[in-house]
Structure 1
Amino acid sequence: MHLHARSRGRVLAAASAACALSVTLAACGGTTKDSAKSDSAAAASTAKANPDAALKKGLKLAFLPKQINNPYEKIVDNAGIAAAQETGGTGKEVGPSDASASSQVSYINTLIQQRQDAILIAANDPNAVCTPLKNAMKQNIKVVAYDSDTAKDCRQLFINQASTEEIGRSEVQHIAKQLGYKGEIAILSATQNATNQNAWIGYMKDELKKPAYKNMKLVKVAYGDDDDQKSFQETQGLLKAYPNLKGIISPTTVGIAAAARYISSSSYKGKVVINGLGTPNQMRKYVKDGTVEQFSLWDPKKLGYLGAYAAAALASGQITGAQGEKFKAGKLGEYTIGKDGEVILGPPTVFDKNNIDDYDF
């Protein structure tokens, strides 16, 4: 999906700088078809990329989201499946109905048995999925993490939505401006082990150490497990436990929508600021009714699209996952692999009443 031209102009300039800086450091490798299969890490060091290789036709790409019924992940995966078809291959989505740490393991094992060419995974836990993913790589099945990373030696690439540091720090920066840099805040996260959530929260906490935030206090990190009802109840619990709470950051699309729904019909509307990461279609009514002033996100369709092209490039031998390698991602253009096999989609967009109707996802 293409963003409207006038909306692209509103992306965060700081995020662009962060993204540019994020692709300048060390390397991580992958395997080729003829690499030794006993040790994926050793194979990575000897793999050779052929940037002139054509994309193979008939590649089978499998998307394994955190949970199969997550609306955000459905958008990502459907776009990835469409991109797989665009490259001349096929794509599918499989996954658990819950976001527990080990719920993805059996699906990985099945995908290995099916001899998929690539597994694309949004990890619920960075380590719980490692053993089966390493088994996949030993059998020359390429592994691409997207949205939420695995441990670095358990995949060849990580397709990151935006600079991890920029996302985390900007969440604090945005809510601080709304609160006049004072008051108690809480974070409503997804699962306790979610790699992306914890990385963002780490930068949020670090940002809050700066002198500018001396009159702000993080009182609680709550976990809604990317479940709508639990996130709703956690919001209610936060507001009861901390009567002086002034703001909630929810860096999860499920969490921010649930928090906004609770506050929109409560006495806290207009008194407690909600910010975080959400989709325009989920959040539109809360922006228009004044519950939420602003929130951020990247285009999830582009995330899935980029993931599919990266997996196809890996499976075709165009890239191995080493720093500095480049590949073309269809209509998105050329991307460069950065530190530890990370590929950054681009800067997030801030949505508010002035631009939210420019987007439909």
Structure 2
Amino acid sequence: MHLRTRTRGRVLAAASVVCALTVTLAGCGGTTKNDAKNDDKTAGSDAKADPNAELKKGLKLAFLPKQINNPYEKIVDDAGIAAAKEIGSTGKEVGPSDASASSQVSYINTLIQQRMNAILIAANDPNAVCTSLKNAMKQKIAVVAYDSDTAKDCRQLFINQASSEEIGRSQVKNIAKQLDYKGEIAILSATQNATNQNTWISFMKDELKKPEYKDMKLVKVAYGDDDDQKSFQETQGLLKAYPNLKGIISPTTVGIAAAARYISSSSYKGKVVVNGLGTPNQMRKYVKDGTVEQFALWNPKDLGYLATYAASALASGQITGAEGQKFKAGKLGEYTIGKDGEIILGPPTVFDKDNIDEFNF
């Protein structure tokens, strides 16, 4: 089901592609400038795109999420696998059960041995996976990051959910309105090294420097490691450590659901605002019982769908990842590659009690 901008004017404006991912753009450790240039060539940046090329049939695509049991990434990957079948190829999901920085490396190496045509990865760390991904590109395997980026020279494309700056700043704007621009807030993130989380948080902190937030204070950034129980415990710890806490921003679907679950059955319900990024099916009961007034997200099914079409276009030679190149993503229409190989899905939607029942994912 598509998210539509028609929903009560609550869709956030799409920002232009900005230098949102500067925190991820450092080169991989131990790589010289000459090495990086050579790796870029093996990634196909010197090849010529053939926009008229047909999508190849029978491509083998592998989705490598942050962790295999993450409900959000399961939605993304399942949609991507279905899209692969739609275009006559095959897809699969593999990955670790934990979201540690290096947990994805062995899976990348195995996928190289299996001669996949494309590896699609939501990186737990921007640099830990670099060596293995560069090896994949040397073997002419297309590498596409989605949801959470790698360092830019370790992949050819990054499928971003929305403008990273808009996501980060909007999280602060949304909760500030709910708190009347006053009070202490905390952030409940995923892992300490998660590229997307850290990028969004950097924009949150920058937004909080503006004069209108002078009566708001960020007291803590906690990490639930995208683990439900740890996120639940971190929420409890935040509320005990900061008795004057008025709001929690959790820009991770696991974290926001865990925070809402804790607060829904505690004395903090109605006193502490929870906002962030979640799925409608996870958050519906907390919206309806009054624990959460609103939260935001894009359509994760569309993210997986777009990632498959981008990887397939790359593996078929339609595109090389260069800025300005265009390709068609099935029912989603045409997309243009932006700076540093970034492709933006589109603006997220704000969900609340008035529109949440219109969505099922």
TM-score range, shorter chain: over 0.9
The TM-score with structure 1 as length reference comes to 0.93
| 1:292 aligned residue | 292
- 8 Å contact kept, 1:337–1:343: yes
- 8 Å contact kept, 1:142–1:315: yes
- Asked if residue 70 in structure 1 is aligned to residue 78 in structure 2, the reply is no
- Asked if residue 40 in structure 1 is aligned to residue 39 in structure 2, the reply is yes
Instruction: Please state how far the C-alpha of 1:11 moved relative to its aligned partner.
Output: 1.5
Looking at structure 1, the residues matched to 108 and 17 of structure 2 have their Cα atoms a distance apart, in angstroms, of: 33
- 8 Å contact kept, 1:125–1:195: yes
- Asked if residue 143 in structure 1 is aligned to residue 153 in structure 2, the reply is no
- Asked if residue 233 in structure 1 is aligned to residue 217 in structure 2, the reply is no
Instruction: Please state how far the C-alpha of 1:12 moved relative to its aligned partner.
Output: 1.2
- 8 Å contact kept, 2:3–2:298: no
Question: Which residue identity does 1:102 align to in structure 2?
Answer: S
Q: Quick one: structure 1 residues 21 and 4, their matched pair in 2 at CA, closer, same or farther if it must change by over 3 Å? A: closer
Instruction: Please state how far the C-alpha of 1:42 moved relative to its aligned partner.
Output: 2.9
Question: Which residue identity does 2:282 align to in structure 1?
Answer: Q
Question: Which residue identity does 2:41 align to in structure 1?
Answer: A
Written as runs of structure 1 = structure 2, the 5 A alignment for 1:321-360 is 321-360=321-360
Written as runs of structure 1 = structure 2, the 5 A alignment for 1:188-267 is 188-267=188-267
| 2:158 aligned residue | 158
| 2:108 aligned residue | 108
Structure 1 residues 161-190: Cα deviation after superposition (integer angstroms, max 9, x where no partner): 000000000000000000000100000000
Indicate the SS of the match to 2:196.
helix
- 8 Å contact kept, 1:7–1:358: no
| 1:119 aligned residue | 119
Instruction: Please state how far the C-alpha of 1:235 moved relative to its aligned partner.
Output: 0.3
Instruction: Please state how far the C-alpha of 1:336 moved relative to its aligned partner.
Output: 0.3
- Asked if residue 184 in structure 1 is aligned to residue 184 in structure 2, the reply is yes
Written as runs of structure 1 = structure 2, the 5 A alignment for 1:76-91 is 76-91=76-91
Instruction: Please state how far the C-alpha of 1:6 moved relative to its aligned partner.
Output: 4.0
Looking at structure 2, the residues matched to 4 and 169 of structure 1 have their Cα atoms a distance apart, in angstroms, of: 21
| 2:34 aligned residue | none
Indicate the SS of the match to 1:46.
coil
Gaps of 5+ in 1: 29-37
Q: Percent identity?
A: 85
- 8 Å contact kept, 2:17–2:163: no
Looking at structure 1, the residues matched to 211 and 334 of structure 2 have their Cα atoms a distance apart, in angstroms, of: 40
Q: Quick one: structure 1 residues 51 and 8, their matched pair in 2 at CA, closer, same or farther if it must change by over 3 Å? A: farther
Q: Quick one: structure 1 residues 158 and 4, their matched pair in 2 at CA, closer, same or farther if it must change by over 3 Å? A: closer
Looking at structure 1, the residues matched to 135 and 62 of structure 2 have their Cα atoms a distance apart, in angstroms, of: 16
Indicate the SS of the match to 2:200.
helix
The TM-score with structure 2 as length reference comes to 0.93
Looking at structure 1, the residues matched to 190 and 2 of structure 2 have their Cα atoms a distance apart, in angstroms, of: 28
Deviation beyond 6 Å, 4+ runs, structure 1: none
| 1:93 aligned residue | 93
Count residues with an aligned counterpart.
Answer: 346
| 2:51 aligned residue | 51
| 1:169 aligned residue | 169
- Asked if residue 317 in structure 1 is aligned to residue 317 in structure 2, the reply is yes
- 8 Å contact kept, 1:167–1:200: yes
Instruction: Please state how far the C-alpha of 1:46 moved relative to its aligned partner.
Output: 1.8
Question: Which residue identity does 1:12 align to in structure 2?
Answer: L
- 8 Å contact kept, 1:4–1:358: no
Looking at structure 1, the residues matched to 227 and 101 of structure 2 have their Cα atoms a distance apart, in angstroms, of: 14
Question: Which residue identity does 1:177 align to in structure 2?
Answer: K
Q: CA RMSD in A?
A: 1.7
Indicate the SS of the match to 2:335.
strand
